[in-house]
Amino acid sequence: MEHVSDEPISQLIRSARRHRQLSQYTLARELATVAGKPTVTRDLVARWERGHQIPRHGSRQWLSVVLHIPQDRLDAAAAASRRRARLGHAVVTSNAPVKPGPTRRAQGTPALLPVFRSRVQAGILAATLLNPHRSFSLSELAEHAGGSLASVDKESRMLEVAGILTNRVDGTIRLMRAADDNPMIAPLTELIKATYGVPQIVGEEFGRIPGVARIVLGGTWAERFAGIPGAPAESLEILLAIAPGQPEDHDAIDVAARRTQTRLKCHVHVATRPLEARLDYLQIPRQRRGQPVVEVAPVRPRQRPATGMPWPDGRAALAKMIDSGQLDLVSGPAANSRPFMDLAGRHLDAAEQLLDTSPPSAFLLLSHAAQLVASGLLAHQGLRPAVGANDHLTGDAVAAQFGHQFSQVELLRQRSVELKNPTSRDSRVTGDEVKTYLTTVRSLLSVAHNVTSTLGTFIQR
């Protein structure tokens, strides 16, 4: 196999194992036999291949024997892995600083935003604050933050004490997520978004474009990510590798660049190249030679991206909501309307069954179904209410775009607030009232299904 300069040992082991047509279990068994150490297991091989652990010198000796790889090549690959700065969706692939020091350690001061106590802390915040509706296990946070479980456990407990994270226990697993009632969350999210949030946002926006196989970042941001201190980045230099045989979708690239620029509030410069093995060593436009290059993992959408045109009505109202921080642009898994619409349909079915026995319960389900329909329409456009946004924002956003019919979303929400207080004089609802709104919300769901077939991603002018 051809030697690739700066190839990490994780990729080298994986490619050599596959070249020999060995499974991870088989490789572990052969290593244990040759080394005489039963502690070599499939889990250890998996950690090597995922980059979670670098094989020690003794292990590299036995890998050389079993995989037929020269020892010096394994040693060079191990050194390349140590030079890498890893965090969530991104990794330094070439020209990383070789000199060791606190800026190169995962626990060292992060050069991207030195106000944080460590890169692990910044990585945890990037994962939780940019995905506020998702809970993370400690293992998942360790994957995102590029740190050990012990470091992640320590940092997450400190953030929990500060009221930035909350936790719940699911069996034996402790799950962490961003708190939604802390006034510090919104400004902290903006800081994270512009620094450690860059890999996720770039990966989401450009990963949704068919044909984009690899995403590479250079410039000042890549220098800070690699641990080189200095002034913050004012722009992003992005190189996209287009897969062979795939057309270059200039319109989709332009949309992704504009949305990235809006989300990160900085200039974005994009260039494209055909996919090739030595992409890391091409000159990125506006990139000084010999400076770090960071590869970002494309984040593929869970449903086919919206291909229609942006909705013509209500654009000014939505732009105002975005500028005021009430509405966020999202992409990737968050831009998926299907879960919202499916759950809304199940709520409607359940409400119909409760119609005669418990009208208030049925009404609450109807209200929530209407909110889900509205949230699904926003998600399809790559939009989501920001943490701490006004309760009426979702209803206002869809009513501004899709007309008076969707003003029912906010009316239902207000009525459900009254029903949640059983001592209120307005806490009663009749079966006939529920029947009327059941028809209304079913109509909203039907309209939403029809609209999404032609509804495109929102682009701010």
Q: How many residues does the chain have?
A: 461
pLDDT of residue 375: 96
In terms of domains, do 255 and 382 share one? no
Answer yes or no: is 84 within a domain: no
- CA dist 260 and 330 (Å) reads 10
Task: Let me know whether 186 and 211 are in one domain.
Answer: no
User: What's the confidence (pLDDT) of residue 5?
Assistant: 46
Q: Which two tokens stand for residue 146?
A: 């590029």
In this prediction, residue 98 has a pLDDT band, given cuts at 50, 70 and 90, of very low
What whole-number distance in Å separates Cα of residue 278 and Cα of residue 245?
18
Q: Based on the domain organization, do 319 and 430 belong to the same domain? A: yes
* Domain containing residue 71: CATH number: 1.10.260.40
Q: State yes or no: pLDDT of 100 exceeds 90.
A: no
Q: Is the Cβ–Cβ distance between 281 and 287 less than 8 Å?
A: no
With bands split at pLDDT 50, 70 and 90, how would you rate the model's confidence at 89? low
- The one-letter code for the residue type at 364 is L
Task: Establish if 4 belongs to a structural domain.
Answer: no
**Which stretches within 36-97 are classed as H helix?**
42-50, 57-67, 71-83
Domain co-membership, 279 together with 218:
yes
Same domain, 283 and 343: no
Q: pLDDT at position 95, please?
A: 58
| Least confident residue range of 45-49, 147-151, 233-237 | 147-151
**How far is it, in rounded angstroms, from Cα 451 to Cα 277?**
42
β-partners of residue 178 are 165
- Pair 338, 443 in one domain: yes
Residue 340: the pLDDT is 96
Domain-embedded: residue 92 = no
pLDDT at 109 over 90: no
Contacts by residues 403-406 (CB-CB < 8 Å, ≥ 24 positions apart): 403/313, 405/443, 405/444, 405/447, 406/374, 406/444
- Find, among 10, 9, 11, 15, the residue nearest to 1 by Cα: 15
Residue 280 lies in a domain: yes
Mean pLDDT of 13-24: 92
In sequence order, what are the residues at sequence separation of 6 or more whose Cβ sits closer than 8 angstroms to the Cβ of residue 366?
Answer: 347, 348, 351, 412, 434, 437, 438, 441
Quick one: tokens of 176? 């962490």
Residue 133 DSSP SS3:
coil
pLDDT at 15 over 60: yes
Residue 88 lies in a domain: no
Q: What is the mean pLDDT of residues 299-317?
A: 73
Q: Which pLDDT value is given to residue 368?
A: 96
Rounded Cα distance between 258 and 455, Å, is 18
Q: In the prediction, which pLDDT does 3 show?
A: 43
The pLDDT value given to residue 186: 87
CATH number at residue 408: 1.20.120.330
What is the token pair recorded at 30? 């052969």
pLDDT given at position 142: 86
Q: Could you tell me if residue 96 is inside a domain?
A: no
Residues 119 and 182 in one domain: yes
pLDDT at 422: 80
**Pairing verdict, β 136-137 and 165-170:** unpaired
Short-list 351, 353, 375, 354, CA closest to 365: 351
Which residue did the predictor score with more confidence, 125 or 421? 125
What's the pLDDT tens digit per position in 314-371? 889 999 999 998 999 998 888 899 999 999 999 999 999 999 899 999 999 999 999 9
Query: What pLDDT, in 10s, does the model give residues 242-298?
Result: 988 888 999 999 999 999 999 999 999 999 988 875 555 555 666 666 678 888 888
Q: Are residues 188 and 249 in the same domain?
A: no
Using the 3D structure, point to which of 245, 261, 296 is the last residue of a domain. 296
Parent domain of 40: 9-79
